[in-house]
Amino acid sequence: MDKNFDVIVIGGGPGGYVCAIRSAQLGFKTACIESRGTLGGTCLNVGCIPSKSLLNLSENYHKAQNEFNNLGIESSGVKLNLSKMMNNKNKSVLTLTKGVEYLFKKNKITYLKGTGSILSKNTVSVADESKKKISYQTKNIIISTGSIPSSLSGIKIDENNIVSSTGALSFNKVPKELIIIGGGYIGLEMGSIWKRLGSKVTVIEFLDHIIPGMDKDVSNEFLKILTKQGINFKLDSKVTSVNVLRNKTIVDFTNNKSAKRERIECDKVLVAVGRKSNIGSDIVKLGIKLEKEKIKVNNKFETNIKGIYAIGDCIHLGPMLAHKAEDEGIAVAEIIAGQAGHVNYDVIPAVIYTSPEVASVGKTEQELQKESIKYKVGKFPFLANSRAKVNNETEGFVKIIADEKTDKVLGVHIIGSHAGTMIAEMALAMEFGASSEDIARTCHAHPTHTEAVKEAALAVDKRPIHF
Ligand code: NAI
């Protein structure tokens, strides 16, 4: 095999594989190194995709068990077959990871299986399972090594009693009692899954609210809805220790304000306190500059070493989200090709795939207040949206924040069914610099949930029709 490439991408996750495909499309001789044995990274293998499969399946189960009977669909006797559900999830993961492998073949990308390390700015070595190393030459290196779960000091994740999201996606029986440390994205998605499947779920969160950085209005509403669904919350609480004793797990925590100590005994503990960049020792050895333990890049995604670029969860820019990494993958390939690749970090949508979904793009009210930017707000509840009403999906609202003077949309926050799909229209509007008036004057199909967006835009100017 020829060992000379134009581009070598290290890491086959959403950032890396998309970058490899775009590089190949641009005519570069491209290789992608991946150590996991399958392509797709955390997202496809142990993140976004398997969690969305279980979120969908557990929601169907929950509805069939608790809601259908009231709606004229006789569903008594519905039973859970967890191993079949897990098989379905695994099948979806396999199909998608194989799909990426097919795309590599289609684009003539060399897939190097093993662990890559950078030896110099033009040389990368790949160690296979038997630790045999082969070196490859390249003009450009793109680091896309992603992130790994963080833990708390003194708490060791064993993926049995104390798990990360990876373990929580593969429990072989429904835990009677599940404690989740961290009320962020992972904690609330995984908590929803296991609550619906029958666990008693308690979330212990350090802050006095869930989902740090989320618009407060939405965060408060989200907390109310999840509490109504039966998830217990211990906010403003710091976990002090987690111990495993005879297959029982004991969690000790203290309230930050009252200093009251509490202890809960449970079957499983999920540690979901964030993720940290995956920085190999080769990166440190080469002297690649870091910022807050993440790779520092310039506006061309280039590190301090010319020809070595980095994208995705391992860099200091933007949130740790798969779609952000994909966009960076495309941008960096285009920049290397001399084109104007670009990522707009002001318009990166974020979605939590609970029921209802929560989605946002742009600034929160709290951020705007901090920046002393004057704004106006339009809100519209799904309770007043006809489609949401007939579908029994009346929880939540759409909130549009626009500049007080220019009316330019600065942020959109949605809690409600299909929020994750609806946010795309808002991202597009913001990319085009839309005003709330532009959204209000765009014809939205009736009856759809998206009419709530139009109504929220009308509400910015205090003229909603249906509320
Ligand atoms: P996160 O940053 O969303 O939430 C971590 C939570 O843990 C925070 O609320 C934080 O205050 C809390 N916390 C930290 N230390 C604590 C302590 N000692 N005791 C109690 N609580 C503590 O991180 P998470 O949920 O682990 O997700 C990791 C990454 O994966 C995030 O960057 C997220 O964006 C991404 N992700 C995205 C998803 C999506 O797009 N739907 C789904 C899952 C993950």
The CA distance from 395 to 385, in Å, is 10
The CA distance from 63 to 210, in Å, is 25
pLDDT, average across residues 92-121? 98
How crowded is residue 1: how many other Cβ atoms within 10 Å of its Cβ? 7
> Is the CB of residue 136 below 6 angstroms from any atom belonging to ligand 1?
no
Residue 1 has a pLDDT of: 82
Q: Tell me, in angstroms, the distance from the centre of ligand 1 to residue 183's CA.
A: 7
Q: Ligand 1, from 164, 186, 209, 348: best to mutate by most atoms within 8 Å of Cβ?
A: 186
Q: Ligand 1, from 54, 165, 203, 273: best to mutate by most atoms within 8 Å of Cβ?
A: 273
State the catalytic residues.
446
pLDDT class of 246 with cuts at 50, 70, 90: confident
The CA distance from 213 to 221, in Å, is 15
Residue 181 has a pLDDT of: 98
> Is the CB of residue 205 below 6 angstroms from any atom belonging to ligand 1?
yes
Q: Give the sign of the dihedral formed by CA 272, CA 210, CA 279, CA 309.
A: positive
The CA distance from 164 to 205, in Å, is 16
Q: What is the largest CA-CA distance in the chain?
A: 69
Indicate which residue's Cα is closest to atom 41 of ligand 1. Answer: 352
Give 360-421 as a DSSP string.
EEE--HHHHHHTT--EEEEEEEGGG-HHHHHTT----EEEEEEETTT-BEEEEEEEETTHHH
Q: Mind listing the pLDDT tens digit for each residue in 160-206? A: 999 999 999 999 999 999 999 999 999 999 999 999 999 999 999 99
Q: How far is CA 115 from CA 8, 10, 277, in A?
A: 13, 9, 17
pLDDT, average across residues 21-42? 98
Going across the sheet that includes 200-204, the strands are 162-163, 268-271, 177-181, 200-204, 232-234
pLDDT, average across residues 245-265? 96
As given in the structure block, the two tokens for residue 341 are: 């690749």
**Are 101 and 20 contacting, i.e. CB atoms less than 8 angstroms apart?**
no
Degrees, nearest 5: CA angle 298-113-90: 100
In the predicted model, what is the mean pLDDT of the chain?
A: 97
113 pLDDT above the threshold of 90: yes
Q: Mind listing the pLDDT tens digit for each residue in 115-127? A: 999 999 999 999 9
> Is the CB of residue 203 below 6 angstroms from any atom belonging to ligand 1?
no
Q: Tell me, in angstroms, the distance from the centre of ligand 1 to residue 404's CA.
A: 33
Residue 283 has a pLDDT of: 97
Q: Tell me, in angstroms, the distance from the centre of ligand 1 to residue 51's CA.
A: 15
As given in the structure block, the two tokens for residue 223 are: 């907390």
Residue 31 has a pLDDT of: 98
Residue 247 has a pLDDT of: 81
As given in the structure block, the two tokens for residue 431 are: 């990319």
> Is the CB of residue 235 below 6 angstroms from any atom belonging to ligand 1?
no
Residue 84 has a pLDDT of: 98
Residue 450 has a pLDDT of: 98
Q: How far is CA 88 from CA 52, 56, 80, 449, in A?
A: 12, 11, 13, 29
Q: What is the dihedral of CA 43, 45, 51, 53, to 10 degrees?
A: 120
Q: Tell me, in angstroms, the distance from the centre of ligand 1 to residue 180's CA.
A: 11
**Are 52 and 353 contacting, i.e. CB atoms less than 8 angstroms apart?**
yes
> Is the CB of residue 320 below 6 angstroms from any atom belonging to ligand 1?
yes
**Are 393 and 417 contacting, i.e. CB atoms less than 8 angstroms apart?**
yes
Q: Tell me, in angstroms, the distance from the centre of ligand 1 to residue 82's CA.
A: 26
In percent, how much of the chain has pLDDT > 90?
Answer: 99
58 pLDDT above the threshold of 90: yes
> Is the CB of residue 280 below 6 angstroms from any atom belonging to ligand 1?
no
pLDDT, average across residues 2-6? 96
Q: Tell me, in angstroms, the distance from the centre of ligand 1 to residue 178's CA.
A: 17
342 pLDDT above the threshold of 90: yes
The CA distance from 51 to 49, in Å, is 5
**Are 78 and 63 contacting, i.e. CB atoms less than 8 angstroms apart?**
no
pLDDT, average across residues 335-342? 98
> Is the CB of residue 279 below 6 angstroms from any atom belonging to ligand 1?
no
Q: Mind listing the pLDDT tens digit for each residue in 397-436? A: 999 999 999 999 999 999 999 999 999 999 999 999 999 9
User: Of the ranges 170-179, 238-247, 250-259, 292-301, which one carries the lowest mean pLDDT score?
Assistant: 238-247
**Are 157 and 151 contacting, i.e. CB atoms less than 8 angstroms apart?**
yes
Angle between helices 185-196 and 48-66 (to 10 degrees): 40
